[in-house]
Chain A
Amino acid sequence: MSQFAGLSDISISEDIPVEGDISVPVGSQNPDDDFSTLDEPVKDTILRDLRAVGQKFVHVLYPKKSSALLKDWDLWGPLLLCVTLALMLQGGSADSGEDGRPQFAEVFVIIWFGSVIITLNSKLLGGTISFFQSLCVLGYCILPLTVAMIVCRIVLLGALSSVSFVVRLIVVTASFSWSTFASTAFLADSQPANRKALVVYPVFLFYFVIGWMILTFSPSP
């Protein structure tokens, strides 16, 4: 045992008891916690998710530099907004596509396909944001355009005149620039400084197309 010769100096004096607990570091949850959210009533789950979605809506309407949208992303809000917008752009006419009105599937596909393209583009340009975070941000920032759609529908309940067109134009332009500004506030931080314009342009185009679809919407006679 020559290799242990050097260790003979080290000794633990026997009057100090060595005691303690050795615990294997476990993951912070045991299986009981995994199942605990299944036992809660459905109302709690729905309310919790709705509260999270509502909180993110507030963050979109007042775009400060907060990371709530990014840290715990979820896709419920975008789905809600997308479905609402698509249903409202559908109009009451049962005859699909008779006068060039976008169909439900068209709006849905444009929003999700456009978001995926913008996300891929921002990732390819060297962004640090993850795929679903970017989808979450782009989806939530459709909120001002949905609000504009509701306003346009209300305005169109009146006469279809040039005044109503000007009002709708102003509302849609304002909400489209709000959407672009809000999503830029979240997305552009993750890009290198000199490439922000390259990321902002597709976002601008995306919200422009959606805003244009809202502006050219006319109800069925």
Chain B
Amino acid sequence: MCKTMSASQGSTNTNTEPWGSFEDNNIIQGSGSAVIDMENMDDTSGSSFEDMGEMHQRMKEEEEVTAEAAAIHPERLSHMRVLIYLVSTQVWQAGKQQASKAFNLYANIDILRPYFDVEPNQVRNRLIESLIPVRMINFPQKVAGELYGPMMLVFTMVAILLHGMKTSGTVIREGTLMGTAIGTCFGYWLGVSSFIYFLAYLCNAQITMLQMLSLLGYGLFGHCMVLFITYNVHFHSLFYILWLVIGGLSTLRMVAVLISRTVGQTPRLFLCGTLAALHMLFLLYLHFAYHKMVEGILDTLEGPNIPPIQRVARDVPVVASAVVNATIKSIAAVVQSQ
């Protein structure tokens, strides 16, 4: 079943098999050699039937191109122009095929498709459930592995954080406001999820990375609510109450799910203590990092060192700021004396 190829440009292949026989694949066009060139082997594709299909497709395209060229009246174009046209078309098609192959291999978003398969009422239910701690911790609680809700919550928190940073007059010297907000929120979601997943692996907890991402993402719903309220209504006592109640509820929910999936007292304590600490402290940090009243602490504790994040002095009522500053100075004095 040897095929002979004529050594000219635009040669046509005579296939006796409809799928194109093996020898046609790797013969370089125009070289007239029947040696299979391994450089032309496509090593990114899976089955050999795909190779056959692709080679057949490629040869059909080449035939179409040469048929187009042949249908053009030869007296209107010179041979050079035909050559240029053929070569450029083939280069374009080869490049297009390579690009589409690479794209299908690496940028295949269909991998993520099952994690976005949700209905609006499911999302709403999960949002509400993220604030309700479960009571049964004796058998593993079900954690939905979806990424739509967590991602939307992270973006919402970015928007809320942006608002908070703007109203508190935060000035970021090395960076941008948006970059900091996105970095903080995504960094927390992805970083703490990975860290807790690693700890869960150490403590033999039955939870997958996707479930951890989903759990922590929905746990940010409480954070979003608290920050939305307290960035607009500035009462410290209100913030502390909301921090304890809403932050506490969402932490308890995550902690209960993790407890139900871990065996042994010490692993449970270790894992859940870490998660509770990180979650609650993050909310505390987000509130105080972008808050108007922090100038007093900075002036007292930092001294001449200028941190990368600076605050612009705002007009606050004189009495209130005097009281706060006095309180903070006294606390700082107590801390420094120890």
Task: Please report A residues at the B interface, Cβ cutoff 8 Å.
Answer: 23-24, 26-27, 30-31, 97-100, 102-103, 105-106, 109-110, 117, 120-121, 123-126, 194-195, 197-198, 201-202, 205, 208-209, 212, 216
Contacts and interface: CB of A to CB of B under 8 A. Distances in A.
Contacts of B71: 23-24, 26
A interface SS class: helix
A125 B148 CA distance: 9
A109 B163 CA distance: 18
B145 interface: no
A99 B109 contact: no
Contact of B171 (A100, A121, A202): A100
B68 A26 contact: yes
A5 B166 CA distance: 91
B282 interface: no
Contact of B155 (A24, A194, A202): A202
Contact of B176 (A106, A125, A209): A106
B178 A102 contact: yes
Interface of B: 64, 67-68, 70-72, 77, 81, 85, 109, 112-113, 115-120, 123, 148, 151-152, 155-156, 159, 162-163, 165-166, 169-173, 176-179, 312
Nearest to B115: A124
A124 B68 contact: no
B177 A124 contact: no
Given A212-B159, A212-B163, 11 more contacts: A26-B72, A97-B177, A99-B169, A100-B166, A123-B109, A194-B120, A201-B152, A202-B152, A205-B152, A212-B162, A216-B166
B155 A205 contact: yes
A108 to B, nearest CB: 11
B168 to A, nearest CB: 9
A31 B81 contact: yes
B120 A208 contact: no
A99 B171 contact: yes
B172 A97 contact: yes
A78 to B, nearest CB: 19
20 contacts: A24-B67, A27-B68, A97-B171, A97-B176, A99-B171, A100-B166, A100-B172, A102-B176, A102-B178, A106-B177, A117-B155, A121-B148, A121-B151, A124-B113, A124-B116, A195-B119, A195-B120, A198-B120, A208-B159, A212-B159
